[in-house]
A and B are shown apart, each in its own frame.
Chain A
């Protein structure tokens, strides 16, 4: 994603100016863009507003002029705390893991392929074409194909038979169990290690005065920590499977993540000697902290019974299909990025005694950071709102792999609950916006600063 214009060709964004302040041409210019602006204003913002309003009503049923009564945030409360919202909560967790592994998988695989293809390979064009072709397919086609391939009785499972071995017995998207493991064993140390690494980067970003990055690193760190905490320490061993977390803890998590964010921000302010700002920030933080300690989160709307959520193994099949389709995209992005690194730079590094591996790690990789970021944003927003792949692979009924995008459709066109469907859609919008808007702002601002 390249939101900003090519910098080399755009020195100072020079615009056409005419001597007279108002001339017909400028009027034409505005007139020509006006239809698009109006259309988008209605179709994007007007419609979002309408959905937002409906999400606050009790609209259900198929009457022609259905009654819509304002019921405040009840639909959201239902989604997050009522038993009928269980599917939605499951889907939020699914989306989180799907996004994590899908984006990560695409980035890593794409990078490896790009580096290998960069080695002056014979037939590079052919390889590139093959790796990229799934991109041209529709998710509906991909879903249909992989539904067939992941059929437990055949497909991938029958592959070993070709080589004379026994068929696999893996259940793919039919699997109903979450991934479980005991935190007391190896993963505990691993997680602690990851948390430590994240902390290191957080402080590095603080040092560099990149506050936004601090938050974006701080949130996964806090989540990881709390997940581990919930399972390892605070949740009774007998109640749930390891590797899952209890939804009842979520309000506490949310507050904890906010507090951690505030504290990190305060630390960065203090670090740079802004004591007064830190103090101003410190007071609300302390209040929240006290309120938290006094058990204020217990009054949040919450689910009635403990609900255990974790990574559904069934998602593996969907992730494979999605990575198969989109890894070519990251490969293309990375390859273009790698080829954009001036050969002189690499040569200079080689002269300084760097091995080819070091050239990639020290010279090329840092220059690919903007590409990684934009690829992650693009893939991230695709995975947050994914619908067609799941629809084609598993239908709209199969919980273990369902996501909010599917649930919107189900709620509206199966259960006739249009207001609840709107509420899910708004949650989806907020999730996507929290990823996209900061990115849009920073990249457009960067363009103006040029």
Chain B
């Protein structure tokens, strides 16, 4: 168990320190609790980072606290009880953007990290668009570790050949091949539990509304009841008809949904590019051969991003150790240890691309050249008061399959959350 190795390392290091009391002690000491939802397949990346941290700061005992659950759904609830309970972890994972700002910064629970960015010279090392996402009222509130892309469509090239189809460039193309795939006894597009449906939706919405339309929804410049938004919902309904939504979606985790694509039970899967990490690391597939990818239909040239970041809560017990952790996270070294294993690209612009696999290199190239927008399902563009209620909109749609009903509901919720156009 890698957990054991880590604890063994800690014990050995502690022994070493105890055996050699004359060794210089200038780093922070004490404990460091890191709260995240990176367990299982995503665990090794974090553990490698922690190992590096322990190497740099041998006096700190690291407590890697993870709460499992796709996209952090369980972790966020646990984190809230801890913060409300006056027991904040020393540093916690949070999606960059509104999930950080709208929940924690406005509640005055976070420390401003501008000083760290200035000290470390990070201001020009991260893309400005990303820094904007992390900023609110003149402060910068977390350190981004990675960049993931939300709008990617996955498939197995060999299978597509077998069925005689190509990866669709638009959703209309997809709808055109949908019956062909269904005739082969295969699910054209696989979705999993609740949040993965929202995830699919944001790719569809981006394709149908375009970059301006998408951003307009969140800036309050576009109403949900606009004609094209309603039409987009109806298109989404047609796409859903090509999925397993009414069959077994609710019981599938995103990994199980990905498994179905690999096994040839489903043709496509729209999932964030952590799926690449899963397919490379856990399933042992080679990018481009074992699996293929395109930007999700209709979104070529657009990079819908989400970023995992770590913040510094107020009133923590181990301030120095936590700041040292954030320093490591923001450094080139830290990002290049973490990201190749996690299956994401570095948030910094100066990382060493040769360390990354074929998929990630292509993603990094897109990250530099594409237009960038934020994700809804992963906390970037809307506060939780909207995103948690978006499930209501989705349910209304799934039950009624009526674009108008969903659009009206979304508009009502946006109005309540104060982001309605």
| A interface with B by C-beta (< 8 Å) | 60-64, 82-84, 86-87, 90, 147, 150-153, 171, 173-177, 304-305, 394-395, 397-399, 409-410, 413-417
The residues of A that contact B399 with a CB separation of less than 8 Å are 176
- Chain A residues within an 8 Å CB radius of B409: 83, 86
9 inter-chain pairs at a CB distance below 8 angstroms, sorted by A residue, are A151-B251, A173-B251, A174-B246, A174-B248, A174-B250, A176-B398, A177-B246, A305-B405, A397-B73
User: Given A173-B251, A394-B250, A415-B389, are A83 and B408 also a contact pair (CB < 8 Å)?
Assistant: yes
Contacts A62-B107, A63-B107, A176-B246 hold; do A397 and B251 have CB atoms under 8 A apart? Answer: no
Complex alpha-carbon distance, A63 and B80, angstroms: 11
B residues touching A (Cβ–Cβ < 8 Å)? 73, 76-77, 80-81, 83-84, 103-104, 106-109, 193-195, 245-251, 384-385, 388-389, 391-392, 395-396, 398-399, 405, 408-409, 412-413, 416
Q: In chain B, what residue has the closest Cβ to A416?
A: B384
**Contact across chains for A305 and B385 when beta carbons are under 8 A apart:** no
CB distance from B269 to the nearest CB of A (A): 16
Q: Which residues of A contact B77 (CB under 8 A)?
A: 409, 413-414
For the complex, what is the distance from the CA of A80 to the CA of B251, rounded to whole Å? 30
A414–B247 CB distance below 8 A: no
Tell whether A87 pairs with B395 under 8 Å between CB atoms, given A61-B106, A413-B81.
yes
**Contact yes or no, B248 A152, CB < 8 A:** yes
Provide the bound-state CA to CA distance between A175 and B384, in Å: 28
> Nearest chain-B residue to A409 (Cβ)?
B77
Partner of A416, one of B103, B396, B405: B103
Do B195 and A415 have beta carbons less than 8 Å apart? no
Is A415's CB under 8 angstroms from B384's CB? yes
Contacts of A64 in B (CB 8 A): 107-109
Flag if B392 contacts A87 (CB, 8 Å).
Answer: yes
Chain A residues with CB under 8 Å of B396's CB are: 83, 86
| Cα(A147)–Cα(B396), bound, Å | 24
Establish whether residues B395 and A86, one from each chain, have CB atoms under 8 Å apart when the complex forms.
yes
Instruction: Give Cα A173–Cα B251 distance, bound, in whole angstroms.
Output: 8
* B107 CB contact (under 8 Å) in A61, A305, A399: A61
- By secondary structure, the A interface counts as loop
Inter-chain CA distance A86–B108, complex, in Å, is 31
Q: How close is B264's CB to chain A, nearest CB, in angstroms?
A: 15
Query: Which of A62, A82, A90, A153 has a CB less than 8 Å from the CB of B84?
Result: A62
Partner of B248, one of A82, A87, A151, A409: A151
Please give me the residue from chain B that is nearest to A169 by CB atom. B247
A102 to B399, CA, bound (A): 25
* Closest A-B pairs by Cβ, 6 of them: A62-B107, A152-B248, A415-B388, A413-B77, A397-B194, A174-B250
Q: Which residues of B contact A62 (CB under 8 A)?
A: 80, 83-84, 103-104, 107, 109
Known: A84-B413, A415-B385. A171 touches B106 (CB 8 A): no
* Residues in chain A near residue B103, CB distance under 8 A: 62, 416
The one of B106, B194, B245, B392 that contacts A398, using a Cβ cutoff of 8 Å:
B194
- Shortest Cβ gap from A167 to chain B (Å): 13
Q: How far is the CA of A64 from the CA of B76 in the complex (A)?
A: 18
Contact B251–A147 (Cβ < 8 Å): yes
- Give the residues in chain A near B245, CB-CB below 8 Å: 176
Q: Determine if A82 and B408 form an interchain contact, defined as CB atoms under 8 angstroms apart.
A: no
A415–B80 Cα distance when bound, in Å, is 11
Contacts of A394 in B (CB 8 A): 250
Residues of B within 8 A of A60 (CB): 385
B39 to chain A minimum Cβ distance, whole angstroms, is 17
A83 touches which one: B84, B106, B251, B413 (CB < 8 A)?
A: B413
Return chain B residues, CB-CB under 8 Å to A82: 412
Contact of A395 among B194, B248, B412, B413 (CB under 8 A): B194
CA distance A399 to B250 in the complex (A): 10
Residues of A within 8 A of B416 (CB): 84
Which B residues lie within 8 Å of A63 (CB)? Answer: 106-108
Return chain A residues, CB-CB under 8 Å to B76.
413-414
Tell me, rounded to whole Å, the shortest Cβ–Cβ distance linking A152 to chain B.
Answer: 4
B392 touches A83 (CB 8 A): yes
* A416 and B385 contact, Cβ closer than 8 Å, known pairs A62-B83, A84-B416: yes
In the assembled complex, which residues on chain A have CB atoms less than 8 Å from the CB atom of B248? Answer: 151-153, 171, 174
**A226 → chain B, closest Cβ, in Å?**
22
- Does B408 contact A413, Cβ atoms closer than 8 Å? no
Which of A60, A150, A173, A305 has the most chain B CB within a 10 Å cutoff? A305
- With the chains together, A177 CA to B83 CA distance in Å? 39
* Set of chain B residues within 8 Å of A90, measured between Cβ atoms: 395
B389/A174 in contact, CB under 8 A: no
| Distance between Cα atoms of A394 and B77 in the complex (Å) | 16
Tell me, rounded to whole Å, the shortest Cβ–Cβ distance linking B224 to chain A.
12
CA distance A173 to B389 in the complex (A): 22
A427 to chain B, nearest CB (A): 18
Nearest-CB distance from A146 to chain B (Å)? 11
How many Å lie between the Cα of A83 and that of B251 in the bound state? 27
Q: Are A413 and B251 in contact (CB under 8 A)?
A: no
In the assembled complex, which residues on chain A have CB atoms less than 8 Å from the CB atom of B389?
84, 415
Is the Cβ of B392 less than 8 Å from the Cβ of A84? yes
Q: Which of B77, B384, B385, B392 has the most CB of A within 10 A?
A: B392
Q: Kindly state the separation between the CA atoms of A386 and B154 in the bound complex, as whole angstroms.
A: 39
**CB neighbours of B412 from chain A (8 A):** 82-84
The residue in A83, A150, A395, A416 that gathers the most chain B C-beta atoms within 10 A of its C-beta is: A83
Q: Which residue of A lies closest to B81 (CB)?
A: A413
- Residues of the A chain whose Cβ atoms lie less than 8 Å from the Cβ of B80: 62, 413, 416
Please tell me which one of the listed residues A84, A152, A177, A304 contacts residue B251 in the complex, with CB atoms under 8 A apart.
A152
